[in-house]
Structure formats: C-alpha cells, structure tokens
Amino acid sequence: YTVTTALAEQSKFPRSVVGQIKIKPLIGLFHIILFILTLIVTTIIIIRPRVTSFEVTPEIIGAGDSVSLDWHVSPFVGSVFIEGIGSVDAKTGHIKDSPTESVKTYTLEAKNFLSQVAPSIFTAKSESLSVVILPKYPEIIDFGVNKAEILEGEEITLHWAVENAEKMELVTNGVRESIPLEEAVGQRLLTPRENTIYKFAALNPSGVSIKSFIVRVSAPLVDVLEFNVDPKEITAGDTVTITWNV
C-alpha cells in the first residue's frame, strides 16, 4: 500500500511511504486436517461396537439345568452373536440355555453396519466364559416294604421313590419288570408265596443306582384247639380213639 502525506507549509514536496500488510487466516490447512481427523476418530469411538458387560450364571450346574446369559452392548450395535447359541436379539440382553456338554464356553460378538467394511475395527468380542455341567446320577430315595417277614398268604406293600432316572426296573427273584417313568413314585400290593428278593434299579446316562432287600415268608402256624386220645390206658392189641380240632 502507499501512503501520501502533505506536510506543513514550509515543505514544498509531499512525502510518500510504501508499506506491505500480510493477512493470514485464523484456520489454516493444518487445523482443517486436524479437525477432520478428530471428527473421524470421534465418530469411530461413538459408533464402534462395544461389549459393556457379559455374564453367565451360575458357573456350575447339574445336567439338565439351565444357565442365564446377560449382556449389555453399546447403542450402535446392530447384531449380537453368541458362540454356542447363535444370533440373538441385541437389545434383549438376556437369554437362557441348557447345555448338555460337560463344559460349555460362551463368547459374545457384537457388530454393526460398518463391520463388513472394517471388521477389525467395528467388531467387538467379549472374554470367553465357561460353564461346568456336573452329571446327575439316578437316586433311589426310597425303596422298601411295610413288612419284611410275613406268613404265607399275607399281603405286603412295596413302595419306591426315584429321581433323575431315565429307566427303571423292578426285579423279583430274577424276573425283570420295566417301570414307567411316570411312576417314579409308586407302590404295589403283593402276596409273595416264598422268600423273595426284590431289587430296584434306576438308570440314566451318568450311571446306575440299585437297592434290594428280602421278604421272608413262613408257613402259617397251626393252632391246635383240641387233641385227645381215649382211653388213656389199654392192653396190648386194644384200640384207641384219637380226636383233634385245629
């Protein structure tokens, strides 16, 4: 720029001063690039899938029991996949499972719409959690009879109660009889004619349980109401009359 000034009257010639002004923008190229990078990083942090929590309880169960799986993921998660179960509703956050293996491991994987573009960045995995499944052995809670010693012709009541069995058998002096599962608790009226060994077997894939006992059967006692010999004294060769009542 040029500045021309008129001096006082005593100066015959005006004076000019030449100068230069440089103007720099407040936001330069570096700041714009930094802003764009910051915006990209912030966006990635916000929409990147995250597994906030993932729990499997209880950690030890019996065969046939169930476990609860609970999870919480970030808002931008579109799908949740649990290894050992499959795809589940991401927003549900809760599901039950009944594992059959001796040990089962669960791992949660969370994805969103950008997971196909950059799976390493937009895929989140939880730590693996394991559940131990203990076998449930069959258990004969009760097996017995109301009388272990009877007279021939008397009746007995045989009773039993069983848990965790997939097959049941009643063995009477070696003769097997299958008991339906719906009769896990039951009883029978029996009239054994001789000493009898009763055996009950409960089975499932984990093992077998057996209980047995014997019922002793005696011949009925004879009650002699009257027994008489007449006459009481005789001569050799004579006869006597014997009478009785039982």
Beta pairing partners, 17: 3
Q: Tell me: the pLDDT tens digits for 61-101?
A: 888 889 999 988 877 777 788 888 888 877 778 889 988 88
Q: Which residue has the higher pLDDT, 189 or 220?
A: 189
pTM value is: 0.53
| pLDDT, the chain, mean | 82
Q: Tell me: the pLDDT tens digits for 144-172?
A: 999 999 998 899 999 999 999 999 999 99
**Degrees to nearest 5, angle at CA 113 with 111 and 115:** 50
In sequence order, what are the residues at sequence separation of 6 or more whose Cβ sits closer than 8 angstroms to the Cβ of residue 43? none
In single-letter form, the type of residue at position 231 comes to P
pLDDT at residue 16, as a whole number:
58
Strand order from edge to edge, sheet including 86-88:
86-88, 79-82, 108-111, 123-125
Confidence band of 13 (pLDDT split at 50, 70, 90): low
